[in-house]
Chains A and B, each alone.
Chain A
């Protein structure tokens, strides 16, 4: 699949929501732990060799599952292949929880559901649609039907 790699590289240089040096293991069997600088920017997780400016790779964080892995690590897997896990090792339980929380909130889908939730709550209290003043109240992607029960 073609993609705008230059822009993805530029994105990797943007301010991060969270960044740290973590141990990382790829999804293939028998892969070893490598030290990587891991950086969360919008809904992408970039990972760099610790002394390089360009990322080795990026993971789009949509339709993924973030799970805790003992003792103080987590894994990311994707809906279409749940056994294929990218594993990360943190230096503490606290750091691990911080990353798990941030990664679960990092998807566009999560952001969209948050918007629908807040919109609905504000409407319940004020009787007004807060999206109207921004001219986006009719957009299909923000309708209540987008919220899963």
Chain B
């Protein structure tokens, strides 16, 4: 698959501060040693460089549809970024301290576009709820409340978010076809569920880690 790698590299090294940056150890293969690399998290992209002075990333991990887990390993402060699916790959990483481990795990597990979109939808809803009918934000500022209702896209992809509830007074979008309605819960309920499940996962991992730490 072609990818606009030059733009990707430029995005990686752009002037704005990264969401998170630091050294991590990366395991090259199952039995391989860990190599120390400079990692930069920007948006839903985790770039890695041979070293902090490199001008171009050696690679990037696209962080959609992944989970981040602590791992039991000989290496201290080890964690993994895992993807779903058969023969799915996992990026095995290790931080340099407990604080760094916790910071990276938190940052990476919330880095996906999907997660951010859920938060934004939820805030959109909250703002509409506290404001009531209100003038739209000035044109200079940000997004219109919801994409205009339009014909559903053709082909194999469903538009997962095109039937979001209207967040501003105005004509309601046409009711979604029954198939979509059955599979798309309202945004705030979906977000609450997602947040709860992240919370459960984090609590479980934390107690695992605490237990492991208690052993001599």
CB contact under 8 A between A108 and B64, given known A17-B161, A17-B162, A19-B157: no
Task: State whether B157 touches A1 (Cβ < 8 A).
Answer: no
Q: Which residue of B lies closest to A12 (CB)?
A: B1
Residues of B within 8 A of A117 (CB): 137, 141-143
A142-B182 Cα distance, complex, nearest whole Å = 33
Contact with A along B63-78 (1 / 0, CB 8 A): 0111000000000000
Q: Which of A11, A15, A19, A122 contacts B62 (CB 8 A)?
A: A11
Contact B60 A101, beta carbon cutoff 8 Å: no
When A and B form their complex, what is the total count of cross-chain residue pairs whose Cβ atoms lie within 8 Å?
194
Q: Digitize A10-36: 1 where CB-to-B-CB distance is under 8 Å, 0 elsewhere.
A: 110111111111000000000000000
B113 and chain A: residue at smallest CB distance:
A42
When distances are taken between beta carbons in the complex, the residues of chain A under 8 Å from B114 are 42
Q: How large is the interface on A (under 10, 10 to 19, 20 to 34, 35 or more residues)?
A: 35 or more
Using known A-B contacts A8-B62, A37-B155, determine if residue A130 contacts B1 with beta carbons closer than 8 Å.
Answer: no
Interface string of B116-154 (1 = CB under 8 A from A): 110110011011001100000100011110011010011
Q: What are the 9 tightest A-B residue pairs by CB atom distance, in nearest-first order?
A: A57-B2, A2-B59, A16-B157, A108-B43, A15-B160, A118-B123, A42-B113, A19-B153, A80-B10
Q: Is the CB of B113 within 8 A of A43?
A: yes
Which chain A residues border B57 with CB–CB below 8 Å? 1
Contact (Cβ within 8 A) B113 A114: no
Binary CB contact string for chain B from 189 to 207 against chain A (1 if under 8 A, 0 otherwise): 0000001000000000000
Question: Contact partner of A64 among B7, B19, B83, B88, CB < 8 A?
Answer: B7
Q: CB distance A2 to B60 under 8 Å?
A: yes
Q: Can you name 20 A-B residue pairings with CB atoms under 8 Å?
A: A1-B8, A1-B59, A3-B59, A7-B64, A7-B88, A10-B83, A11-B62, A19-B157, A20-B153, A37-B155, A58-B1, A60-B8, A62-B11, A63-B11, A102-B147, A110-B142, A114-B124, A117-B142, A121-B137, A130-B123
Interface residues of A, Cβ cutoff 8 Å to B? 1-11, 13-21, 37, 39, 41-43, 54-60, 62-64, 78-81, 98, 101-102, 105, 108-115, 117-119, 121-122, 125-126, 130-131, 134, 136, 139-141
Whether the Cβ atoms of A78 and B157 lie closer than 8 Å is no
Q: Are the CB atoms of A78 and B4 closer together than 8 Å? A: yes
Are A7 and B7 closer than 8 Å at their CB atoms? no
CB-CB under 8 A from A140, the residues of chain B are 17, 19-20
A112 lies within 8 A of B116 (CB): yes
| Smallest CB separation, A79 vs chain B (Å) | 7
Nearest Cβ in chain B — how far from A145, in angstroms? 9
Whether, in the assembled complex, B213 has its beta carbon less than 8 Å from a beta carbon of chain A, the answer is no
Q: Are A134 and B159 within 8 A (Cβ)?
A: no
